[in-house]
Chain A
Amino acid sequence: MEDRRMSEIIVENLRYRYPHAKKLALDGLNFSIEKGEFIGIIGENGAGKSTLSQAIMGLVPQFYKGAYGGKVIVDGIEAGKTPVSQLCGHVGLVFQNPFNQLSGAKDNVYEEVAFGMQNLGLPAEEMKERVENALKLLDIWQYRDRNPFDLSGGQMQRVAIASVLVMRPDVMILDEPTSQLDPEGSDEVFRAVEALTNSGITILMIEQKIEKLAAYCDRILLLHGGKQIAFDTPQKVFSMPDLADYGIQAPAFTRICKAEHVTLPDGTYPVTVEEAAGVLKERHAGRAETEGAAKADEKKDSEVLGEEQFLIKNLDFSYLPDVPVLKALNMRLDKRPTAIIGQNGAGKTTLVKLLKGLLKPVSGNIYFRGEDISGKTVAMLAGNVGYVFQNPDDQIFKYNVMDEIMFGPINIGMDPKRAEEEAKRALELTGLTGKEKENPYDLELHERKMTAIASVLAMDTDVLILDEPTIAQDWKGRQIIGGIIRSLSERGKLVIAILHDMDFVAENFERVIIMAHGQVLADGTARDVFMQDEALKKARLQKPYMMQLSEVLGYERAYLTVDEILRDQMS
């Protein structure tokens, strides 16, 4: 074991229980982290990841109270007993929701980022230098004069990171910092964070993006039910045979290698594309491609066109007269589940709001089943088109889950008996059965999101629009959402979703549309679209992990998912 006296963070038998809770949120954690290490914290929702991050920041127990035992020592300071305002010079915490991290007292990004340093009493010259460095590092220097509240989620997230970064903490904890970012944007954050570790800052990052963690982290801490299950290298942790029991899906590359029984020299499975390609190349040397199977599959992908649902003709839209958001957009949407992808601020949300009638076109027309929707109110369209907003807290207002879910169906005039049936079906689909009587506000964010989805599902609309449904969802949650999409599609309903998770897109959607700067860059099956390197680059997107691996391995066929590659290897 390493010499513990030298460690940056020492956690000794940490136990914690929230007030009014029966179960321990953290149960006997023991580990130490060295200076400059990059640690990934994984686990399903409710595993204790965020609680641990708050314990290192001293917020647990100082802010949340509750029963606390054991010790957390950061930089030689005991976190549980040192006021947070003193500790914040040593430890920085970036929240999951950047919106709440903004001070709300500064009207431009530059001053917002400097806010923390002002409180610590740093000299002006020093502040200016640090702000400039941080803004440039995170590529938001161009937004320095903008109001932070006017930025998109991804930009705001980078402001939040910068505002903690400038305080030069020795330890930085990031709680799902990339959940709102497009793929390129999240890569930038990972690269920026990695650069920080080189300057001696210790990083702890909670993240659902397993493949990214595997590529960047030195060690992975796996939590489950408040207990520490493993703390080791990514290779060792992701090679654990019982990983799925803890609600974690191993990186795509690891799953392939597991199925193929190829390991690294030390007996663990590869976790990154390079490692996987290295071992797989040796294995497949000289092996011919199985073209036949691929062809058969291809046909199934492209030729199922359903009847037309939406027809968009020459659509123009702008919020401000001189700033067009959508330009001469033409699109035909049929019944295939459709994913709309693109960088932050590409006009995706604007487009779906227009489909829902929440916004009216500046010029051009939108037809829903041949009928122009411009003359209809949102409430009139409610029975046909369902829309789940990103933030569930924007709609929840009832005191129990069942009432919340029943609100929509009753509103659109469904009779109570059928509404109840639909509500039950929605509960089952979202995995909320058994929580009917709970107050939505007592639920965790991921469950509140499911409640919001269920409340729209129950309206049994012909079209369902989902805006970033996978944010805050763990592997299990993502599987549930995948199930919802399949189930609706089987019942002949159109699902449109805005997403940043390319692998989720590849696994669950038949049609993919890439948008950038208010225009469609590519449109087709997932396979076709992800082959268009130019469009992907323009829209700051990345290929699904399996496709990256197929390319590195030099396969002729681009595989989209792990299942696909395995099916082919078998035949």
Chain B
Amino acid sequence: MKSISLFVDNGTYLTKVHPFTKLMYIAAAISIPLITGKLWMFGVFIAVSLCVLASGKILKKTIPLIAFSFTILLTIFLIHGLFNQRNVNVLFQIGGLKFYREGTLYALHIGLNILNMLLSFAVFVLSTKPSELVDELEKRGFSPRFGYIVTSVFQIIPQMMGTMNTIMDAQRSRGLETEGNLRTRAKAFLPLISPVVMSSLINTRERAIALEVRGFSAGKKKTWLADRKRHKGDREITVLLGLCILAAIAWRIVVCLR
């Protein structure tokens, strides 16, 4: 079954780091540059994210993400570099196009912010198994019902896509053309979508019973197969990142008061 989760199970240290530590990293990487308002802070966190991704051997996987955001970044540069309303000083000129200093700086701000967010999230998403995160959340008192909804989505959606293929085969076997012009496709819509909806409804009902039968609402305190061992430095890094955020806030307050 094709997974829809982006998790790369390559067994590096990064996959073993506690999900909460990585969440804390996201919080720090996004908030500190914004709080301090310093452009070089973005650079620092982007560099850290890249190093972490490289050490976790998932840097390659981030290339499509960056490539995707690149078009957006480029548009931002063009628009703000050329047309930002505060544009006064020309920075450089390509042919007849004048790029202004103010707009380019503004665009750089936004661009770095986006890149920073993407990379810090990539650290988390690419190295964390969704079910592991939910397990950890549940251990801290998160509702198992909500946890179930989150994890089951990762299983049910690919499985529904599989069902969709079977249904397509079944209807094609009955002579239904599923490819061709818009009219043919529109005609094929109902025969393809109704069985998906109906069988999911039937399945949902049965699955609800199945969960009940397996004690899902027993109301007992849930236990886990493995107690997740803290990775070396999990606690230290979380505390350190927390302190960094606090320091940034303190610095900002001091600057404002001055």
Contact = CB atoms under 8 A, between A and B. Distances in A.
Given A127-B225, A163-B214, A167-B214, A395 B171 contact: yes
Contacts of A117: 223
Contact of B203 (A100, A353, A407): A100
Interface string A73-106: 0000000000111101100110101011111111
Interface stretch (B114-122, B147-155, B232-240): B147-155
Interface residues of B, number: 57
Given A118-B222, A149-B1, A106 B131 contact: yes
Contacts of A383: 175
A331 to B, nearest CB: 21
B15 to A, nearest CB: 14
A392 to B, nearest CB: 9
B225 to A, nearest CB: 5
Interface in A389-404: 389, 391, 393-397
Contacts of B213: 57, 59, 84, 88, 92-93, 164
B172 A124 contact: no
A393 B195 contact: yes
Contacts of B172: 358, 377-379, 382
A167 B177 contact: no
B176 A85 contact: no
A86 B159 CA distance: 30
Contacts of A118: 222-225
B185 to A, nearest CB: 13
Contact of A394 (B148, B163, B223): B163
A353 B198 CA distance: 24
Interface in B114-152: 129, 131, 144, 147-148, 151-152
B223 A408 contact: no
B173 A386 contact: yes
A441 B173 contact: no
Contacts of A397: 190-191, 194-195, 198
B191 to A, nearest CB: 5
Interface stretch (B19-27, B33-41, B44-52, B204-212): B204-212
B152 A456 contact: no
A85 B212 contact: yes
A490 interface: no
Contacts of A358: 169, 172-173
A555 interface: no
A539 interface: no
A119 B199 contact: no
Q: Is the interface of B mostly helix, strand, loop or mixed?
A: helix
Nearest to B150: A105
B214 A116 contact: yes
Contacts of B194: 396-397
A105 B151 contact: yes
Nearest to B173: A387
A105 B163 contact: no
A373 B147 CA distance: 49
Q: Taking each of A115, A119, A164, A356, which has the highest tally of chain B beta carbons within 10 Å of its own beta carbon?
A: A119
A366 interface: no
B74 to A, nearest CB: 37
B220 to A, nearest CB: 4
B95 interface: no
A455 interface: yes
A14 B156 CA distance: 37
A506 to B, nearest CB: 28
A48 B207 CA distance: 21
Contacts of B173: 356, 358, 378, 382, 386-387, 389, 456
B214 A389 contact: no
Given A104-B156, A105-B151, A147-B1, A127 B195 contact: no
Contact of B176 (A147, A386, A411): A411
B215 interface: yes
B178 to A, nearest CB: 8
23 contacts: A63-B212, A84-B213, A85-B212, A93-B213, A97-B206, A100-B203, A100-B210, A103-B210, A104-B152, A105-B131, A105-B147, A105-B155, A119-B218, A149-B159, A163-B214, A353-B169, A358-B173, A377-B177, A379-B175, A396-B195, A396-B198, A411-B175, A411-B176
Given A86-B218, A104-B152, A411-B174, 13 more contacts: A84-B213, A89-B218, A103-B211, A104-B155, A104-B156, A105-B151, A107-B154, A115-B214, A119-B215, A128-B225, A356-B173, A383-B175, A394-B199
3 cross-chain pairs, A with B, having the tightest CB-CB distances, nearest first: A411-B175, A382-B175, A397-B194
Interface of B: 1, 3, 129, 131, 144, 147-148, 151-152, 154-156, 158-159, 162-163, 166-167, 169-178, 190-191, 194-195, 198-199, 202-203, 206-207, 209-227
